Amino acid sequence: MDRSALLDIELATLFQVSQILSSPSSLGETLDQVLQALHEHGELHRGMVSLVDPDSGALLVNAIHGRSTLSASEPIRYLPGEGVLGMVLERGEKVVLPRLADEPRFLDRLRLYDRELPLISVPIRAGPGQYSGVLAAQPPHCDQWLPERARFLEMVANLIARSVRLSWELERERRALTAERDSLRRVVRGNYGFDSVVGHSRPMQRVFEQVRQVAKWNTTVLIRGESGTGKELIASAIHYNSPRASGPFIKLNCAALPDNLLESELFGHEKGAFTGAFSQRKGRFEQAHNGTLFLDEIGDVSPVFQVKLLRVLQEGELERVGSSHTLRVDVRIIAATNRDLETEVEAGDFREDLYYRLNVMPIFMPSLRQRPEDVPDLARFLVEKIAKQQGRPLSVTDSAIRLLMRHDWPGNVRELENCLERGAIMSEGGVIDQDVIELSGLEQQGGMSAILHDQERMGLHDPDLDERERVIAALEQAGWVQAKAARLLGMTPRQIAYRIQTLNIKVRRL
């Protein structure tokens, strides 16, 4: 062969290799194709690529031309410095052997090469002074062009190096992302799994048992209980302990929105479906596909909207507002309410069919006064939680806990949490003692009965008052301080805020 014929071969091969490297495929496929091109166009046979395994530092054979399969169960490996390939990697220099049989370091682990022919092995560079692997091949004869052939193989190795580097970078990114995702999932599980729900009392143990049972299935769950008893917390514990845990957990507070907004929130809307619908939007049902949808305060949904809900619960089908295209969703429903749904069904305010749809598996959250034995653990747990938020160590004394145990907690765990947070703010040294525990005045005199007593004294209990008048009366009594009025009515601040909105009470600003 003359020099110009050799250059023709090399140019044709380079063209092939560059085409292979610029088309998207996995690293393994790319290497196979490059070796194939070297064989078919470049007169370089029995090509082989081995790459350094980042975990062990050993050279693993990744691609061989001339043998159909690489046994994945027993990868062929060379340690640094071992054999001819190990030597190339260790020195970072090419090794050109005119006749393989003459080289005592040749190990012949692959049983691939012709021992009468030359072998060219070149390093694949990872960066300055760093090598990611070795490329080797056999030319069909030993002639004067051997140094030229070796130089050409080095060029190919340099081209391959970029693909290897890219693939490794991708792999590193993938591993980092996976690790981050897994650790985030652990955190989420820690925050929303069972660990974050405190309670050793019998009633709470029963709740845990029910959650454990129901989490496995797609059953609709209805969580009942007074405000602040942990309904939302239990809903997330069910989701994160269910087979849907890796799917989305979507929440919606049904009490917070008027019907038309509730509809577009839940079902989504098409662009231009109503004034203000500037773009198409997915509803919560769609967002919760393959996950769980938590419908909070379901007892507050209007009768008209109850019909719409019933359909999607029964059929799993819905249309976006302004669209006639029917969508199917696979969503597990968890609903919660602090209302007495049975009475509302009897009064005709809540549809009976929807009630039965939702009430497949009811879970009743016990109030805190039904389980005072949980107060010490809860208090310590909540103090830890507040300490994390405030970024400083906090503790609560035994005498403070004894005081807390005597309280009635009409606002349940949320009230306890707020009370401890106030205490934490008041204790500069970070030790919450009884002197900084401030239980709302009324209840301190004797819990619920004191509230009732006060309601009576102030005329809030007058049977002639309707709901709106009662709320207004309480607001008057409280000098229009909503939190105070809420206490008078035995409500949470959120509940009174909601009532003020729905009963269309104009709040007087002081």
Ligand X SMILES: Nc1ncnc2c1ncn2[C@@H]1O[C@H](COP(=O)(O)OP(=O)(O)OP(=O)(O)O)[C@@H](O)[C@H]1O
Binding site for ligand X (CB under 6 A): 197-199, 225, 227-233, 338, 378, 381, 413-414, 417, 492
Residue facing Mg ion at closest CB distance: 232
Q: For residues 380 and 382, what is the distance between their CA atoms, to the nearest angstrom?
A: 6
Least Cβ distance, residue 346 to ligand X (angstroms): 22
Number of residues that bind Mg ion (CB under 5 A): 1
Query: Which stretch, 135-143, 230-238, 304-312, 397-405, contacts Mg ion (CB under 5 A)?
Result: 230-238
381 is in the binding site of which of ligand X, Mg ion, none (Cβ under 5 to 8 A by kind)? ligand X
**Residues 190, 384 contacting (CB under 8 angstroms):** no
- Sequence letter at residue 426: M
Q: Among all chains, which residue has been given the structure tokens 């693993």?
A: 60
The nearer residue to Mg ion, 90 or 232, going by C-beta atoms, is 232
Q: Which residues pair with 138 in a beta bridge?
A: 45
Q: Is 140 helix (H, G, I), strand (E, B) or coil?
A: coil
Tokens of 373: 């034995």
Tokens of 426: 């008041």
Q: Is 32 helix (H, G, I), strand (E, B) or coil?
A: helix
The nearer residue to ligand X, 232 or 319, going by C-beta atoms, is 232
Q: Pattern of binders to Mg ion over 393-412, x per CB under 5 A? A: --------------------
- Sequence letter at residue 417: E
154 is in the binding site of which of ligand X, Mg ion, none (Cβ under 5 to 8 A by kind)? none
**Residues 431, 246 contacting (CB under 8 angstroms):** no
* Nearest to 264, CA basis, from 281, 248, 252: 281
The helix or strand, by DSSP H or E, that contains position 410, with its residue range, turns out to be none
Q: For residues 451 and 437, what is the distance between their CA atoms, to the nearest angstrom?
A: 19
Least Cβ distance, residue 256 to Mg ion (angstroms): 11
CA distances from 155 to 36, 137, 167, 288 (A): 16, 13, 19, 53
Give yes or no for residue 232 binding Mg ion (CB under 5 A). Answer: yes
**Residues 444, 408 contacting (CB under 8 angstroms):** no
User: What is the widest separation between alpha-carbon atoms in the chain?
Assistant: 114
Q: For residues 501 and 510, what is the distance between their CA atoms, to the nearest angstrom?
A: 18
229 is in the binding site of which of Mg ion, ligand X, none (Cβ under 5 to 8 A by kind)? ligand X
Least Cβ distance, residue 409 to ligand X (angstroms): 11
* Nearest to 125, CA basis, from 16, 24, 52: 52
Least Cβ distance, residue 336 to ligand X (angstroms): 6
The nearer residue to ligand X, 202 or 328, going by C-beta atoms, is 202
338 is in the binding site of which of ligand X, Mg ion, none (Cβ under 5 to 8 A by kind)? ligand X
Least Cβ distance, residue 245 to ligand X (angstroms): 18
Q: How far is CA 473 from the centre of its chain?
A: 46
Give yes or no for residue 373 binding Mg ion (CB under 5 A). Answer: no
Residue facing ligand X at closest CB distance: 230
230 is in the binding site of which of Mg ion, ligand X, none (Cβ under 5 to 8 A by kind)? ligand X
The nearer residue to ligand X, 89 or 383, going by C-beta atoms, is 383
The nearer residue to ligand X, 135 or 424, going by C-beta atoms, is 424
The nearer residue to ligand X, 281 or 414, going by C-beta atoms, is 414
Least Cβ distance, residue 337 to ligand X (angstroms): 8
The nearer residue to Mg ion, 103 or 232, going by C-beta atoms, is 232
The nearer residue to ligand X, 168 or 364, going by C-beta atoms, is 364
Least Cβ distance, residue 195 to ligand X (angstroms): 10
Least Cβ distance, residue 53 to ligand X (angstroms): 46
Query: Which stretch, 17-25, 42-50, 225-233, 448-456, contacts Mg ion (CB under 5 A)?
Result: 225-233
The nearer residue to ligand X, 16 or 338, going by C-beta atoms, is 338
The nearer residue to Mg ion, 481 or 483, going by C-beta atoms, is 483
417 is in the binding site of which of Mg ion, ligand X, none (Cβ under 5 to 8 A by kind)? ligand X
State the DSSP string of 181-204.
HHHHHHHHHHHHSGGG----SHHH
Q: For residues 231 and 410, what is the distance between their CA atoms, to the nearest angstrom?
A: 15
Least Cβ distance, residue 259 to ligand X (angstroms): 21
Give yes or no for residue 233 binding Mg ion (CB under 5 A). Answer: no
Query: Which stretch, 11-19, 25-33, 213-221, 227-235, contacts Mg ion (CB under 5 A)?
Result: 227-235
Least Cβ distance, residue 190 to ligand X (angstroms): 13
44 is in the binding site of which of ligand X, Mg ion, none (Cβ under 5 to 8 A by kind)? none
CA distances from 184 to 192, 243, 293 (A): 12, 18, 21
* Nearest to 309, CA basis, from 362, 350, 249: 350
- Sequence letter at residue 319: E
236 is in the binding site of which of Mg ion, ligand X, none (Cβ under 5 to 8 A by kind)? none
Q: How many CB atoms are located within 10 Å of the residue 248 CB?
A: 15
Q: For residues 395 and 381, what is the distance between their CA atoms, to the nearest angstrom?
A: 10
The helix or strand, by DSSP H or E, that contains position 261, with its residue range, turns out to be helix 259-267
Least Cβ distance, residue 227 to ligand X (angstroms): 4
Residues that bind Mg ion (CB under 5 A): 232
